[in-house]
Amino acid sequence: MSHDKTPTDAAIAIKPHHFVDILAALGTGQACPEPHPYGHALHTVMRRIVDDPSVMLRIELGADDICRPCRHNVGGLCDDTIDTSFRPAAPPAKGEYNLLLDRRWCERLGLAEGEELPALTLCERIGKRMDNLAGIYREDPSAKTAKKHADLARGVALYLARARA
């Protein structure tokens, strides 16, 4: 049985890099993005995470709750490609590149696929272990990684401040 929406009481299946992207988006002031033309569920998942720091997350390395309704999710695999013009060492298949990022984040954060933890706990862990993002985003230019670090640091601080208010 397939579900396009995650029940509000269920853990959110999420790739580590998607959670990082949500925090970085918060750091740029994007608290609630609009629906994307690809049809993925970033806007709804992000809203749940922003609204409830106690929401449980389940670490996923395959298609997560953001990916499930995406038009590029074909049989649980992403068929999209990435722009390699500015990162020629990256694999052109988005799914392959994302898996590299997610494995690196899991190693950095001490996470395992299927592990469940509250969003606030994951945010705190990222805040403590987000130094040297070049080790995670090796294929990206240093300026892009520096911007990601700044956005992520702001997003983590904002999320923690909201959660503790």
- Per cent of the chain over pLDDT 90 is 87
The reported pTM is: 0.92
Q: 120 pLDDT exceeds 60?
A: yes
Cβ contact 69:39 at 8 Å: yes
Which residues, at least 6 apart from 138, have a Cβ–Cβ distance to it below 8 Å? 89
Give the per-residue pLDDT at 84.
94
Give the per-residue pLDDT at 69.
94
Q: Which residue has the higher pLDDT, 150 or 36?
A: 150
pLDDT digits (tens, 9 = 90+) for 36-83: 889 899 999 999 999 999 999 999 999 999 999 999 999 999 999 999
Average pLDDT, the chain: 93
Mean pLDDT for 147-161 is: 98
pLDDT digits (tens, 9 = 90+) for 10-20: 899 999 999 99
Give the per-residue pLDDT at 9.
67
Domain residue ranges of the chain, discontinuous segments joined by +: 12-160
Residues in the chain: 165
User: Using only C-alpha atoms, what is the Rg of the chain?
Assistant: 15
Give the per-residue pLDDT at 5.
42
CA distance 33 to 87: 26
Closest CA to 82 of 70, 68, 94: 94
How does residue 8 score in pLDDT terms, banded at 50, 70 and 90? low
Other Cβ atoms closer than 10 A to 153: 17
Mean pLDDT for 23-35 is: 88
Q: 35 pLDDT exceeds 90?
A: no
How does residue 31 score in pLDDT terms, banded at 50, 70 and 90? confident
